[in-house]
Structure 1
Amino acid sequence: MWRHIASNALTFLVVLCFLVGGGLIWAQNEYGAEGPLDAAICLEVPRGSTMSRVSDRLVEQQAISSGMLFRLGADYTDKTQDLKAGSFLVPERASMAEIVEIVTRGGASTCGTEVVYRIGVNAASVEVRELDPATGRFVEIAKFDPAAEAVPEEYRAVRQENDTRYRVALAEGVTSYQVVAELGQVDALEGAVELTPAEGSLAPDSYEISPGDTRADLISRMQRAQELILSEAWANRADGLPLASPEEALILASIVEKETGVAEERPQVASVFINRLNRNMRLQTDPTVIYGITNGEGVLGRGLRQSELRAATPYNTYVIEGLPPTPIANPGRAAIEAALNPAETDFVFFVADGTGGHAFAETLDEHNANVARWRQIEAERAGQ
């Protein structure tokens, strides 16, 4: 009899082990399997939230099949205590394992509302926008001039939300004076900038910020980024360039940046100035003359006068030899790389071609013909 009981107990234990093992295998497969989401969602995780609350929210949004299994999986992988606050994009069909990774890996929020302070060459703006999870694109909620007295209610509202993201977006070709002036309008930042940074020393880019960050620290980040870009580009520069230092490369890059808004043209524009320097020709570029007039403190807003083109100033490249004494704007990475790795051409002239780009020429006769075509286009536009 005891032998029979022992045999049954052993059988029960074996079956139980198989059941437990099978259950574990099922749970592991279910935890890593494709989820039920038909479309991406934006998951908000408030500060002080718990994995239990997150799992309940995911069940409500039909993103997971089991809140308990989601919590057990997070516990089993030791990630429960790593939960981060923010707004996170959960893609369609995301598994429970993938969602746990999304809400615990840290870093900036990946969806929700963001405020972008744009500093452009001709104007500055503040944009309030929200990510549409279905398309992965941001939808503009409000846009306004930071100097305006009337601030949209939408902006006031998102400034009160804890998960709002903030960025400062610096356009290529802005001057250091413009950057400092416009950062003064960013109410998410604190502190003052005592001195205007050296022209050309700030890297145009998009910078994530947090309310309470200082303007001086952001300026330092921009400077470190530009130093790294310039250092890398200088180390990988083409041979035989008529540029004695990274500083001279930065000056040339700023001229290239201001001369064309067509990204594909930068290497060609750079080649024109490199060829002119190699042939001891004056650069004869309007943007340097304009900088000498405005000191980078604004847009000239009119054409250059003949007296200004003849004036002997440090920035008048129609009069001086070689490069001006400083950059004339903050060039982006592409302009710096173009200045240090220009296209191999024999071009020494260029003029607008009416399409937003330029017509390039190797000889004065070719250039004069291009200029004549441009004058005709200008006259036809004026007559419309």
Structure 2
Amino acid sequence: MVINNSLEEVKKRENALSIIKNIIETKGRSSLFDLTGLSGGFIASPSEISLLETYVGPAIFEDELQKVGKEHMGGEKILPLNRTSSGILATILTLVSKNSNVVHYLAQLPAHPSIPRSCKLVGANYSETDNFEEFSIPKNTSLVIVTGSTMDHKVIDEEEFRKVIEMAHEKNIPVMVDDASGARLRTVVFNQPKACDLGADIAITSTDKLMPGPRGGLMAGRKDLIDEIKVKVHQFGLEAQPPAVLAMLNGIKNFDETNLLNSFSRKDELFELLNAKYDNFQTTPTGVMISPEGLANEITAEHNLSENDLAFVFSFILLRDYGIITIPAVSMPGASATIRFDLSTNDAFGLDLKDLCKKIESSINKLQEVVINEDECREIVFSF
């Protein structure tokens, strides 16, 4: 095994950041290609930056964020947070009691790990399913959760989405929607309504996913619930700080739907190039991906690595040799190890897709060579 625990996942990420820093210092930013779909950004003018004081910043920027946030997310009130996971945690701390049930429906398992971890923290009984026929809401359920778009960009069926919300509301149970990327992916590419417009009581999105904002969370929903959750947010220091609030505001203002739509059309070209050589790549709404299982099926050399280990080593070869950033190299512990090449990011707009295909092929060939040596694989992942 290359990665054995969460601590090694953290160390893996630290090494990836060191490699990124070295590439920037030695070759320049133009030699990096962030294809994670999580590249985000921090858009701010000098005059705005001068206002980022502890109390001046919120006074200036939070009111405007309420306006543009509601336009982007729907709902009655907006709450900026330091992470989407923070909003999930705060919601569960607020609405879920010990020994109650939390049920979760999503298009494809598994859920983001912050959800079951938060339920465990409060002592709730948590269950999740991606089979709508098996979904039910038992007695003593305090919260129903829906994921709009999974970590691998599998989008929920709109009719099932509506039915889950109706089932919950028939029992007077609030619904929280984890719409991390879905707030844009569902609405722009799949023409679905905003989660709050579908009847969700709470919805939260990641402000760095498929938009030029910072790593942070933006919650929308019923005013009474937002106010309750906001108390818990401030008690535990989960609120977004002034710089993040400003960057969220400008990220939403600068979000361009055409970037998503263009990536939606370009993905087929990249998929056709890869599909001519490999059997296990799949399309996503904004690019292509290969799962750890799929990558394992492409490797013919004998080895003792896990499927996730293969994905981690592959992601580091892409980063080290070609400056291509994918999620497994830089992800937090517990995140999906699926490798996505997202074409909605700024770095992808000018990419020659034939050249990208050649670099992916070269990296898979390199992976074929090193998998027979576990020590060499560990060195690739952990040694800068």
Is the TM value for this pair above 0.5? no
Question: Relative contact order, CA 8 A, sep 6+: which one is greater?
Answer: 2
Normalised by the length of structure 2, the TM-score is: 0.28
Normalised by the length of structure 1, the TM-score is: 0.28
The structure carrying a bigger helix percent of its residues is 2
